[in-house]
Structure 1
Amino acid sequence: MTRRKLPLGIQSFAKIRSDDYYYVDKTALAVKLIESSSHYFLSRPRRFGKSLFLDTLKELFEGNEPLFQGLAVHDQWDWSVKYPVLRFSFGGGDYAQPEQAERVLFEQLDVFETAYEVPTIYDTASGRLKALIIQAQKKTGQPVVVLIDEYDKPILDALQDKALSRINRDFLRGFYSTIKDSDAHLKFTFLTGVSKFSQVSLFSGLNNLFDITLDPDYSSLCGYTDHDIDEVFEPELEGLDREKIKEWYNGYNWLGQHVYNPYDVLNLFKKRIFKNYWFETGTPTFLVDHLAKNHFFSPDLAALQSDAALLSAFDIDHISNEALLFQTGYLTIHDVQEPMFGHWVYTLGYPNLEVKSSLNISLLSAYGCDDSKVLKNRLGLLKILQSNNLDELELLFHAFFASIPNQWYTKNTIAHYEGYYASVFYSYFAALGLDVTVEDSTNHGRLDMTLKFNDQVYLFEFKVVELVPDGKALQQIKDKQYADKYRGLNQPVYMIGVEFSKESRNIVGFEVEQA
């Protein structure tokens, strides 16, 4: 390959180990979008290539033909027509500070007004944008393309300060509404962001957007498919475990093809080491705090059910756990069912091992576990499982809860709900990326948690003694005959009853029997 500058929306990547680029061609999807409709919205997690795809659209509409030689779009596009493109981005700036949204937007409007010779005679962003759109069409003779990247970042950055977040939302609402009012002058509109705020809160004046977030035809618009990995990046696979790449970085699903996180894959190919590249670029502090504050039961992360309304229930004053986890990329769609006609149910779960491990590590901190001891405890847990010394497992988990400072409990109500203790217990296992099944269904009922590790099977049942008598956890495993499901594996099966006390804030019962 020869080195050439390419719009990165085609998802090229330079200097993995040389000056060559790898081209993942998304231009066929771009053409399909443009031919199908005019105004689009796409929600995807951070670092999935949304900004890069907008770069592709920009170069395409501006008629930059040399950049598209050899790509799918080249013979399908009229290169003689060049459209004016207004590309706005809220990617830069710290919007937790007052007036930053206006400053960032006005700076971009200044540049466009200079380019299209528009006098700044309006004080509002909406007035300036409308004048700019009209003048751009008049000057070029072509309708205008408007591309807006990270449309929601000024709101998300300020979520900890709801008053400021509302100010930013209302400011943006007026700006975005101008797009609807200028429809007669527009050729194409595309907005991207992480979250999908409700039509009422932000898009009340922009109800003509076609949301392709869960459109199977465009599920692979951002991200790499298995085909991309095996064909485009084939030279980079040597020396790497192909199945591990899939386990660690694949699994994101928006009702179509599963895709890989591009940021993870490109860093893996460059550094040749499996790490939590995507997760480390932005610790989800707000997400973790929100889950802990709302007493989220962490075992639900493995299989959380939702409907379409909950998946998009994202607003300043109401953020559902399902919407927050799904839209930020920490959970993805595993299954879709229609139990009643027209009513769809989505089962969400971790996309891959990177997210499963990293998210649960962060949750342990939110649940009061000492950061300095979490790593030591995880390593201790792994060592115990490898040696199958279950007596030490009880001691280790007793130490987990004993290490949580008393003052943490005085500042939090989370320890008063039944699921807290099981959440801490589960998250330690999930943080290791182990093969854990929660709410494990059998023909006799549902077991709280099953672990398969090192050719052994561990069946866990959790109880809080203030709610049920002592000794009921193990007895329930036996009474319900949960072990029967795993006898055919011809592996040792251990039944473990774990009982917690809200009063002592620790394990008060730990019984083990081999089935």
Structure 2
Amino acid sequence: MKYPIGIQSFDQIIEDGYVYIDKTDLVYQLTHEGKTYFLSRPRRFGKSLLVSTLEHYFLGHKELFKGLKIDQLEKDWHVYPVFHVDFNGSNFTQAGVLEERLEDYVSDWETHYGLTSEADRLDVGGRFIKVLRAAHEQSGRRAVVLIDEYDKPILDVLDVDTRLEDRHRNVLKAFYSVFKGADAHLQFVLLTGVTKFSQVSVFSGFNQPKDISMDRRYEALCGITQEEIDRYFPEPIAEMAHDYQCMPEEMRQRLKLQYDGYHFSERLTDVYNPFSLLNALDSLRIYDYWFRSGTPTYLIRLLTHFNENLNELTGKYYRPEEFIDYKADVEQPLPMIFQSGYLTIKDYDRDFNTFLLDFPNNEVKNGFLTMLAASYLKPGTETGGWIRNVVVTLRKGDTETLRTLFTSFLASIPYTMRRKEDETERERYFQYTFYLIMRMVSVYTVYVEKTQSQGRVDCIVETPQYVYIFEFKLDGTAEEALQQIEEKGYAREYASDSRTLYRIGASFSSETGTIGDWKCI
């Protein structure tokens, strides 16, 4: 089986015999039930392949769709003039790059339709309207416009260069205003991207496109569902199970925990990350493929301004307007985190029309928290190797080595990162530091600030052989921490558990920035 990893061209996938998850029935439905659309999906989720599929469909390349679902639905196969704008592959951090890209597109189109350039009199938007009119008149059919990653010129400079960000926003706004002036010449328009900038909208120059990002009809338009996995990939999953020495059902569950969990409507249909899943099936190994394929630098830049801790964002219910529409405020990164794919919908409350947001799967949770910890704490210790050492130590039940690992990691954090003049802020810093550390090592079951009947324990870690109960004090003593564990009865629920139980009391020193006292019983 050939996997189309990194291949975004529909024709190449079909002609070269790569596996293709057939979603052409949704393509047919999309093109026959509306006109102007916007679709937001995380990066590497199949948006570019969707655009390529639409392009070949509207160009009437019937032979490419033979045997697919749309082959039984489409009878006419009309040929339309198609205008494909792709902002992938360009670095828009330099002034003038966006204008140059648009100029190249419009100039080529003018040449193709025999138009004389009027660059000295009209902007690219005005010239594009004339191109669309000419295409309509010469072909006898209205034009199709497909814009892939429409938001990249803004994301590249977001929170880096405010002036260039505003300039790009205005250039795009003027360009997209074409769709209002040329409405009579348009058959179909689709814009794809990661984010939806609605408050300072680049779309305000024309009629708002229909946002299908959370439309239940199109929730599986990109990505791979469980039903599609079971239908297309039973053999590679069985082969992976043989390599991992487990049953196929257990292998499916491992893949699900690692790559599944995305939901794009209140119907909560499970959608897998296609990039990671296909890489795993191809290599027969479970790794963090999606997260290693690129760093969301724009998101980290936004989070540096954020005044709250990430643990205060996850596992909570939100109204749609709180996370769907991007608000141009760096102190509110939730919509950007959600739209970029680092949080997803986990539940829907119909009575209140609210959505529970949390990490979609283990790959995203572990990768994002590791990256966030490195950015927030800036430790001198290499994070990945340190996490592996902690996991092995927890597996062995070696509490003294665990103390050494925690002490060395905290000691490697620069003084400038932990310096907090206010006592409340110092305590908050150490709480968040501990939260990030424990979430990073959550290959095991980890409960952070777990609520019990008599209080809230700082952390519980469960492994197959051991249970660790942690209580930390800032500038206190380990004995005081252990006393709280006993007085509050944090270990009571594990009284009949056959695993070895460790109660660990420790103190953070705000002066040294590391473990001041540690005691285990």
* TM-based fold match above 0.5: yes
Aligned to 2:206: 206
TM-score by length of 2: 0.87
5+ unaligned residues in a row in structure 2: which ranges?
241-250
What amino acid sits opposite 1:229 in the alignment? I
CA displacement 1:280-315 (0-9 Å, x = unmatched) = 121223323432442442444652443322213425
Aligned to 2:95: 98
Aligned to 1:314: 326
Correspondence for 1:287 among 299, 306, 311: 299
Pair 1:249 & 2:259 matched: yes
Within 1, Cα distance between the matches of 2:115 and 2:344?
A: 45
Q: How far is the alpha carbon of 1:23 from its aligned partner?
A: 1.9
Correspondence for 2:439 among 430, 440, 459: 430
Does structure 2 conserve the Cα–Cα contact (< 8 Å) formed by 1:449 and 1:459?
Answer: yes
Aligned to 1:390: 399
What amino acid sits opposite 1:91 in the alignment? N
Pair 1:262 & 2:291 matched: no
Aligned to 2:136: 137
Within 2, Cα distance between the matches of 1:132 and 1:173?
A: 18
Distance verdict in 2 for CA 1:443–1:219, change over 3 Å: farther
Within 2, Cα distance between the matches of 1:339 and 1:485?
A: 34
Aligned to 1:370: 379
Distance verdict in 2 for CA 1:413–1:181, change over 3 Å: farther
Within 2, Cα distance between the matches of 1:259 and 1:120?
A: 46
Aligned to 2:243: none
Within 2, Cα distance between the matches of 1:216 and 1:414?
A: 48
Does structure 2 conserve the Cα–Cα contact (< 8 Å) formed by 1:10 and 1:24?
Answer: no
Distance verdict in 2 for CA 1:431–1:2, change over 3 Å: closer
Deviates most, 494-503 or 362-371? 494-503
Does structure 1 conserve the Cα–Cα contact (< 8 Å) formed by 2:446 and 2:461?
Answer: yes
Within 1, Cα distance between the matches of 2:320 and 2:144?
A: 30
Aligned to 2:185: 185
Within 2, Cα distance between the matches of 1:144 and 1:411?
A: 59
Q: How far is the alpha carbon of 1:77 from its aligned partner?
A: 1.4
CA displacement 1:146-199 (0-9 Å, x = unmatched) = 111100000000111111111101110111122123222211111100111015
What amino acid sits opposite 2:284 in the alignment? R
Aligned to 2:235: 235
User: What is the aligned-residue identity percentage?
Assistant: 35
CA displacement 1:247-305 (0-9 Å, x = unmatched) = 22222221232112111122223322322221112122332343244244244465244
Does structure 1 conserve the Cα–Cα contact (< 8 Å) formed by 2:45 and 2:274?
Answer: yes
CA displacement 1:98-149 (0-9 Å, x = unmatched) = 0111111211122222222232214412102211111111111112211111
What amino acid sits opposite 2:170 in the alignment? D
Correspondence for 1:459 among 469, 482, 503: 469
Aligned to 1:112: 109
Pair 1:273 & 2:270 matched: no
Does structure 2 conserve the Cα–Cα contact (< 8 Å) formed by 1:10 and 1:27?
Answer: no
Correspondence for 1:483 among 484, 488, 491: 491
Deviates most, 171-180 or 45-54? 171-180
Does structure 2 conserve the Cα–Cα contact (< 8 Å) formed by 1:305 and 1:348?
Answer: yes
What amino acid sits opposite 1:449 in the alignment? C
5+ unaligned residues in a row in structure 1: which ranges?
none
- Aligned to 1:192, the other structure's residue is in SS state strand
Does structure 2 conserve the Cα–Cα contact (< 8 Å) formed by 1:88 and 1:147?
Answer: yes
Does structure 2 conserve the Cα–Cα contact (< 8 Å) formed by 1:264 and 1:276?
Answer: yes
CA displacement 1:380-416 (0-9 Å, x = unmatched) = 3123211212233233212211112335456999994
Q: How far is the alpha carbon of 1:38 from its aligned partner?
A: 1.4
Within 2, Cα distance between the matches of 1:399 and 1:55?
A: 51
Pair 1:126 & 2:125 matched: yes
Distance verdict in 2 for CA 1:426–1:407, change over 3 Å: closer
CA displacement 1:299-357 (0-9 Å, x = unmatched) = 446524433222134254446221121111112111222454xxx33222222221122
Aligned to 1:331: 343
Distance verdict in 2 for CA 1:48–1:490, change over 3 Å: same
Distance verdict in 2 for CA 1:9–1:235, change over 3 Å: farther
Aligned to 2:364: 355
Correspondence for 1:65 among 42, 62, 80: 62
- Aligned to 1:136, the other structure's residue is in SS state helix
Aligned to 1:82: 79
Aligned to 1:23: 20
Q: How far is the alpha carbon of 1:3 from its aligned partner?
A: 13
Q: How far is the alpha carbon of 1:445 from its aligned partner?
A: 4.7
What amino acid sits opposite 2:513 in the alignment? R
What amino acid sits opposite 1:310 in the alignment? E
RMSD of aligned C-alpha atoms?
3.1
Q: How does 1:436-447 map to 2 (within 5 A)?
A: 436-447=446-457
What amino acid sits opposite 1:500 in the alignment? F
Within 2, Cα distance between the matches of 1:210 and 1:189?
A: 10
Within 2, Cα distance between the matches of 1:230 and 1:412?
A: 56
Aligned to 1:226: 226
Q: How far is the alpha carbon of 1:227 from its aligned partner?
A: 1.9
Within 1, Cα distance between the matches of 2:440 and 2:388?
A: 10
Q: How does 1:146-165 map to 2 (within 5 A)?
A: 146-159=145-158, 160-165=160-165
What amino acid sits opposite 2:131 in the alignment? L
